[in-house]
Chains A and B, each alone.
Chain A
Amino acid sequence: METIQPVWLSQSIYTRPNMDKLSFHSLNADTLLIQWNSSVDQNLLYEIVHTENAIHENLSDVVLETYPAYTSIAVHYNPQRIAANALAKAITSCLAAPKRPMTFSEWQLPVCYDSTFASDLEPLAKAKNLTPETLIQKHSEPTYLVHFIGFLPGFLYLGGLPDTLHHPRKATPDRAIASGAVAIGGSQTGIYPMESPGGWHVIGNCPISFFNPQGKPPCRIRPGDRVRFQAISVETHRKLAREKNDVLNPIDTFQWDS
């Protein structure tokens, strides 16, 4: 077998016609970082999802796994099969193929905003000069976009929190934020899939667990999907939590065609 000489890539830039510039950077000896030099938005999200799909379709013989974030993808590859510069070229060329429309799901997650679960709702509403009711309405109105999963297993990074609800994280993080807690931190909102320390402001709780280590896949909500929060009563929360009914079905599917 041909021996592959390791190559260290620092900021190799590839330009594609009519596209943003992509830069490639070796994160370590077997992980290549693809970085987009553009701001976080819906178009970039779908460009990242398309790129990951193209890598898995075309380069599965050399790529072991990929994991995305807001403006980049980490590509873990087999350095015995391909060198970093050859991989960067291969990724660039498989992106040249015409894009096909991609199908995504829309999910509705029940959230109980009652003070039983929302230790920070009142202080946060006060700080934002809103009534708790208005805050709840503003939080449950938008359709959020799933950018990627990180921080904790099954923690969704959601885009779309209204500017009026942005609020700095707590200076001193709480020791334990409950499993299912729905919280706001900076310009982001999210759901803690398990108990964890954290500095976000807790405004509610979702009784449905959508991350299951035994599930195939472990999380059915994927980057590119849309999420909506549906305000529920304490009784409904109790009922859903008791049923432990983790079967979550999308309320809709949609296509993205760029």
Chain B
Amino acid sequence: MGQLIIQKPGLFTSIQDAGRYGYRRYGVPLSGMMDTYHGRLANMLVNNPTDSAVLEITQSGPTIQVIGATVAAISGADLSACLDDQPISLNSAFLIKSGQKLRFGAPRYGVRTYLAVRGGFRADVIMNSRSMFAPITSKNMLQAGDIIEFDDTRSTEAHHASVSSPESFFTTAELLATPGPEFDMLTTSMRNQLLKAVWTISSHNRMGYQLNAELSANHLSITTAPVTPGTVQLTPSGSLLVLARDAQVTGGYPRVLQLCEECQNQLAQKTSNQQVKITLQN
């Protein structure tokens, strides 16, 4: 069995797949890749099913010793990935030989990048998924000394798969949404403010993105109701909470908008202090 030995974990590196479907009735979040577009792309480049387990690497990447040979691909944010000090091109399959070391450097653009190896990473499947989410899995993220296994008996035949991902994916500030169930609760003036405001990302993690603007406080609340990744909640202070993959399955703030899936992926590549606008999709 091939092994990735995590020497330095980086800021937040975790194993993710398509998510933990079927357990939200028990209060278990969906989890899975934050940017499904690039996670699936990394899998496709190494001929994996698109829902195979990948490493999700956030901003400051890990240092990884690889034991065993494999075909790999990195897709998503440009975090200056190197294999034994040789820069790796994003969105192209490449060969890793046993004993080589993967390292990441300064982030150039984007926030999250995905490392896939042929055959996917092995990790215990708990509730239909390998995605890390404590306490469903024992931890949320990888730590120094962790070892992740993969099948190193797969073909490492030269592979020239390569795609380009559009730059606009990372630079666009316009996010498309549809009206949420409580959009009608808002006054016309609140709706206008919501859709005209320039929102600044104040914090983010795998549970959600908080967006701030000069929006007035409100006293709107709802009976606790189901939410899903991409649900945009209006908080009493007037900030927005855009729910992400590890968010709770129910919530009590008005669900004013729902971000389309492609825009959830685009938002997952943004970080604090960046600005976005939210526009209604036709």
Contacts and interface: CB of A to CB of B under 8 A. Distances in A.
A139 interface: no
A64 B22 contact: yes
Contacts of A51: none
Interface stretch (A24-32, A95-103, A116-124, A239-247): A24-32
Interface in B25-66: 25-29
Instruction: Name B's interface SS.
Output: loop
Interface residues of A, number: 40
Given A35-B181, A152-B248, A73 B27 contact: no
A69 B225 contact: yes
Contacts, number: 101
A76 B20 CA distance: 13
B228 A74 contact: yes
B226 A69 contact: yes
Contacts of A66: 25
A219 B23 CA distance: 10
Name the residue in B22, B24, B25, B231 with the highest tally of chain A Cβ atoms < 10 Å from its Cβ. B25
Interface residues of B, number: 32
Of B24, B136, B231, which is in contact with the most chain A CB atoms at under 10 Å from its CB?
B24
A59 to B, nearest CB: 15
A136 B13 CA distance: 45
Given A69-B250, A155-B27, A213-B28, 7 more contacts: A8-B178, A27-B228, A28-B260, A40-B223, A65-B25, A68-B25, A153-B29
7 contacts: A65-B21, A68-B226, A69-B223, A76-B24, A150-B27, A152-B248, A218-B26
Interface of A: 8, 10-11, 25-29, 31, 33, 35, 40, 64-74, 76, 148-155, 157, 194, 211, 213-214, 217-219
Closest 8 CB pairs of A and B: A150-B250, A74-B226, A67-B24, A149-B27, A67-B25, A153-B27, A153-B28, A70-B223
